[in-house]
Amino acid sequence: AEKYGKTVKPMLVFSNDPFYSIVQVAQAAGVDEIVMGVSGSTGAEVQLESLAMSWGMLKKAGVSRPVTAKVVWEGRQLSYKLS
């Protein structure tokens, strides 16, 4: 992204429920996009489903800012719009 003029600020978040923490930080920071690498133990679909469930639990009423969630691996990606 930086190669194309976009600023990237990577973050490390430690938790016993990473999807909950990722969503909590993303909503607090007002991000437009969440990008994750594919897990070695679960598939990309499962990762996006877990993220979407956490998004639904933490979503505040009346806030409808769309966020794109992506899982990327080896020249491929799977994305989903969270609202």
- Tens-of-pLDDT digits for all 83 residues of the chain? 677 788 887 878 788 999 999 999 999 988 999 999 999 999 999 999 999 999 999 988 777 788 999 999 998 999 999 98
Say if CB 33 and CB 68 are below 8 A apart.
yes
Structural domains counted in the chain = 1
Q: Full-prediction pTM beyond 0.85?
A: no
The per-residue pLDDT for 47 is: 96
Q: What is the pLDDT of residue 77?
A: 93
Nearest Cα to 68, choosing from 32, 39, 36, 43? 32
Most distant pair of Cα atoms in the chain: their distance: 37
Find the domain containing 32 and state its range: 2-82
Q: What is the pLDDT of residue 10?
A: 80
